[in-house]
Amino acid sequence: MAVPSQWPMPLSQMAAVVGQQFLSSDIMALTVSKKPSVSNGDYVVSDVNATVLMNVEGRYFSLPRCRVLCDAAGTSIISMRKEPFSMHQRWNVYRGNGYDQRDLLFTVKRARILQSQTELNVFLARNTAEQHCDFKVKGSWLERSWVFYLGDSNTIIGHMSCKFELKSVLLGMDTFKVTVYPNVDYAFIVAILVILDEMHREN
């Protein structure tokens, strides 16, 4: 899937989803590396200088499945939890380590139960009706490329790709290259990436 060439509309009015500290006035180029672990793969998030910004850890043997995004010091930022028995592979994302409804930040789920290409809808916590998504992801595991959009619009807020290497695929050691546009919460983008990968591994 080719990344659209158009630059998105100004996003300076977009509020942070996870936190203001994860907004940048510049483009953020991130590398998200997945390494094997007993929790079926943990993730390391680095910038262009190879400085580790965040880690994503698994909660070993947890049911339902859970991932925790931590800063470089190991402090929990958000918790991602798969909703059990969800036809759309729904994941809920909470602030910190909590799973209380009042800590809910956003929800990610497949746009359709059956789909040949990737299409995810993202709903912020305040969007309880879920009639229209707040963000969308479209792409393809076959082409190993995905684009993040603002709602159902053509406004792009980021994109990512993953180089195909047979050894990496067999060992579960994928490396994602992520571009986050200015004034877009990059912790939010990383969380969606992890959930997307989790969905793919489950399938």
CATH number, domain containing residue 171: 2.40.160.200
From 155, 153, 148, select the one nearest 192 (Cα to Cα). 148
Domain annotation covers residue 69: yes
Domain annotation covers residue 16: no
Number of domains making up the chain: 1
Q: What is the pTM of this model?
A: 0.87
Q: Say how far apart CA 84 and CA 97 lie, in whole Å.
A: 18
Q: Say how far apart CA 32 and CA 69 lie, in whole Å.
A: 12
Full domain range(s) for residue 55: 27-202
Domain annotation covers residue 18: no
Average pLDDT over residues 27-46: 82
Domain annotation covers residue 191: yes
Average pLDDT over residues 87-97: 91
Domain annotation covers residue 142: yes
Asked if the model's pLDDT at residue 169 lies above 70, the reply is no
Average pLDDT over residues 37-59: 83
Average pLDDT over residues 65-84: 92
Domain annotation covers residue 159: yes
Domain annotation covers residue 3: no
Mean pLDDT of the chain: 85
Domain annotation covers residue 116: yes
- Distance between the two ends of the chain, CA-based, in angstroms? 20
Q: What is the pLDDT of residue 111?
A: 87
How confident is residue 29, by pLDDT bands cut at 50, 70 and 90? very high
Q: What is the pLDDT of residue 73?
A: 93
Average pLDDT over residues 167-194: 86
SS3 assignment, position 161:
strand
Average pLDDT over residues 161-178: 73
Cβ atoms 149, 136 nearer than 8 A: yes
Average pLDDT over residues 4-29: 75
Q: How many CA atoms lie within 13 A of 194 on its CB side?
A: 35
